[in-house]
């Protein structure tokens, strides 16, 4: 059971906005540790999409955005594209576990 909880799947029509939630607790997201988001295409290694809650590395399209509030965070894909079909994971640090924690993962499907 993952420390950070994500919905197993989300879907939307191309061009729509979809959001993925990441719910943590007072020992990780709520403690002020940054939330980071990764995209994993089938058969490939994860790639960072958002770091430090809401920062995009160079090369990541601006249709991806992150936010954080309290003990939760969200990743939004504004204008879903077929190429965005992938698994998405959030990640933070947990002071109680003294280690990094990943979300359970969310599969995004473009209908």
Residues that bind another protein (CB under 8 A): 2, 33-34, 36, 38, 40, 45-48, 51-52, 57, 87, 89, 91, 93, 97-105
CA proximity to 65, closest of 73, 75, 57, 79: 75
Comparing CB distances to another protein, the nearer of 81 and 95 is 95
72 vs 91 by CB, closer to another protein? 91
Nearest distance, CB of residue 13 and another protein, angstroms:
26
Q: Which is nearer to another protein, 34 or 79 (CB)?
A: 34
Q: Report how far residue 19's alpha carbon sits from residue 10's, in angstroms, rounded to the nearest whole number.
A: 8
Q: How far is the CB of 26 from another protein (least distance, A)?
A: 16
Beta strands 86-94 and 99-102, pairing class:
antiparallel
Tell me which residue of 101, 109, 106 sits closest to 25, measured CA to CA: 101
């Amino acid at each position: 059971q993952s420390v950070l909880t994500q919905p197993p799947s989300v879907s939307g029509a191309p061009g729509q906005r979809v959001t993925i939630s990441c719910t943590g607790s007072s020992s990780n997201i709520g403690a002020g540790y940054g939330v980071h988001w990764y995209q994993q295409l089938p058969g490939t290694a994860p790639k960072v999409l958002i770091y430090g809650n809401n920062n995009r590395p160079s090369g990541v399209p601006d249709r991806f955005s992150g936010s954080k509030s309290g003990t939760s965070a969200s990743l939004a894909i504004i204008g879903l594209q077929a190429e965005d079909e992938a698994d998405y994971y959030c990640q933070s640090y947990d002071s109680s576990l003294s280690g990094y924690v990943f979300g359970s993962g969310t599969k995004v499907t473009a209908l």
